[in-house]
Every structure is written in structure tokens, then in C-alpha cells.
Amino acid sequence: MRKYFGTDGVRGRVGEFPMTPDFAMKLGWAAGKVLGAEGIKEVLIGKDTRASGYMLESALEAGFSAAGVNVALVGPLPTPGVAYLTSTFRADAGVVISASHNPFDDNGIKIFGQGGYKLTDAQEQEIENKLHIALEGGMECVSSQALGKARRVDDAAGRYIEYCKAVLPSALSLSGLKVVVDSANGAGYKVAPAVYKELGAEVISIHDQPNGVNINANCGATSMRSLCTAVLEHEADLGIALDGDADRLMMVDHTGAVVDGDELLFLLAKDAKDAGYTGGIVGTQMSNLGLEQALAAIEIPFVRAKVGDRYVMEQLKSTGWRLGGEGSGHLLSLDHASTGDAVIASLRVLTSLLNQGTTLHLAKQGMNKLPQVLVNVRFKASKNEDPLESVPVQRALTEAEEKLGANGRVLLRKSGTEPLIRVMVEASDAQLAQWCADHIASALPST
């Protein structure tokens, strides 16, 4: 069992173990030993806009150097941008310092292997085995002449912008479109607006002034109200929201209505089938039942993976399919990117709309979402007790499922990135779904 790696790397509150400089240095050393065992190797390190990124970047750089691995520092850049550059630089690994959608006082460390793909569970376990040695007995530093060197990549953002722009077919342009872009004061604050502007759109950019502590603060893909308001105020055609590291996409249509990851995945799937795609779609346990029903109606196979884009990726690889995602906005289109990429996913949606000559509001009508309620309960972790197995929780779960019958479902799971229990209830009736979610949540022990 992995102790430190969750569904999206290592994550925690800055200054508390494991998000400390000492841990980061030893994690860099362990990853360097595992992923760069022979010869002169290089790892790319990128980050989002959190103030703590500077501290963790320096610690990781020291760890990789001690393991004899060279480091290329790309600065603030979206997670998918780091994955892309890891592939094009032919580096042995890429590292992103980000806690994605979490508040600024959290941070995290995600590692990509060769080709820009997230590490497998087995690779992460191997790094943890080496990390345990460093934590218990210290690191073995290579000789002075074998130490890794560090350099800065000055044109990283420009390379990624050009890569994204190439996704829109050359015959199309965003000229005539007015879009509002919410960068969440995060890693995409420079590159995302630039991409849409250079493709011809009129861009209103909001939440693009990061100060180290305002990332995801009432903005971005996890807080859509300000984007909805801005779209209506500016009479824009649509809005585009990224999260802190720009691997999640949410959109807003011209009426100010939110279009989530499940609806966007349906649009991409339908467009792909119209273009000749014969594969299926991978969702997760949290994917709306309406997505599954809409895909079945147009004869597109659908399977559910565990929650987390890494597990969607694993399922895509095992099936040979090319499209998958989550309602939270992680959208994978393997013909265009090796990981979830908000900017590229948005360009795929825009391509579909332009080809069909329609609006986002009309295009999403093909899917009927069932009311879905998600309640997050913060809990204090305990090695000896599983709150999901407690008698009160199981009783509440049984009572909720009896009320729902065959017209709904319940999913209880622990977050892989925060000390939260997520209670998801789906039903044909919104009030019933809310009652069931609240009933179960009230039985959970909370902090």
C-alpha cells in the first residue's frame, strides 16, 4: 500500500509533514534514483502560483541534484504543459508542484514519467520504498562531479501556447467569438488567455492576477459564480474556467448556465463519433447517470473507473479507447494530450461548436443530467477506525437506498487528496437526493 501518494500525487498542508522542505528534498532524491538510474538524466519541474512553490521547488532541485539528476525549471505552467514539455524534451520525468483545486495553504507534488504520462501505482510504490530509506537513514549523495545541474527554460510558456493553438484546425478561427476566461489566479493565468486571443477570439480575462495566496479563491472551475456573472455582464458567447493547475475545465453558456465535465464529455464523444470514432468512453463512479444514458442512446459504450483521472487513464489504456473524463472537469483526449488539459479540451469543444454552427447552450441539450448532490464531510483520519464502516453510517446508507429504490444511487468515498468523505447521491428527484445526502452526512463523524 502506498503511504504518501494519493490519487493525484503527494499533497498536504504546507509546513506540516509531508509538505515540508526536508520531505520534498528526499522525495526528489528517491524519484531521481528510481527514474534516472543510469547515465545523465534530466527532470522538468513546473509549478502553479502558490507562494510555497518556491520553497518546494528549491528542495526538489536539491534532492534530484543529490541523486545525480539534472533539473530544468520551467516556472509557473499548467500541469498539462509540464507533461507536454516532459515528452518533447525527452526528459526522464516531469514534476508539478501544485495542489490543483485546493486552497493556497495546501500544496502537492505530482510526478510524470517519460512521455508525459502519470506514474503507475507500481512506480509510485517503488519511489516510496526508496523514500522510506531516505526518511529513516538519510540520503546517499553522489560524488561532486556527478551532481545534477540546474537550468531555467525561458521559452516554456511560448512552446506550450503554440502546442495548444495547433489543436484548432487551421481552417477554423475563433474570430467573432467573445469569451470570458477565468484562470483561477493559477498556473494558466498567462498562457490560457493568450491562446484564445492568438486564435482570434475577443477575450475578457478574469482572476488573472495571482499573488501567491489567491489561487482558487472564489474563482476558477471550483467556484463558478463570478464567471457566470461575467458572461452575462459582457454578453459573451461563453465562459471558460480553469482550476489552479489548469487540468480541469468547466464552461458557461451564453445564458450563464454552468456546463460541467460530464456534459462536455458528452459533446466531445458525440463529435468524435460523428468524425468516425468507434471506441467508447471512460467515466468514473461519480459520472452522472444522465451521461451514461445519453451515450447509450447514440450507441457509444461507457464504463466507469475509480475516481481520479489516473484511473480513467488506466482504463483508457486497457480498452484502447481515446476519450474519458470526470464531472469535475478532468477531460482526457489521448489523440491530443497525455493528461487532462483544460485549454486543449476547451479548444476541442469550440471546434465541435464551430463545425456544427451551433452554441454551447444548444449543443448540451442532447444530455439530460439527473439531479446529483455532493456533500463533503471533513474528518480526522484514524488508522484504527473507518468512518464509512460505522453502524450509524451503514444504517443511514440503508435507509437512503431504500428511499431511492431503482431511481437513484449513492456513492460514499474518501477523497484521495484531502481529509474529506464525499457523499454523492443521484436521484430523479432533487429534493430526495438532497435529503438522502444530508441524512448520510449527518451520521458521519466530522471535525
What amino acid occupies position 272? A
Cell 438532497 found at: 434
To 10 degrees, the CA torsion angle through 310, 316, 322, 327? -50
* Residue 100 bears catalytic tag: yes
Query: Kind and range of the H or E element at 43?
Result: strand 41-47
Residue 285 — φ and ψ, nearest 5°?
A: -60, -25
Q: How far apart are CA 417 and CA 423, in angstroms?
A: 15
Cell 452522472 found at: 288
∠ CA 409-412-414, rounded to 5°: 155
Residue 413 CB neighbour total at 10 angstroms:
15
Q: Are strands 93-97 and 41-47 parallel, antiparallel or unpaired?
A: parallel
Q: Are 412 and 397 in contact (CB under 8 A)?
A: yes
- For residue 265 the three cell numbers come to 464529455
The DSSP annotation for 150-172 comes to EEE-TTHHHHHHHHHHTTS-TT-
The residue from 100, 223, 328, 333 that is catalytic is 100
What amino acid occupies position 224? M
Annotated catalytic residues are 100
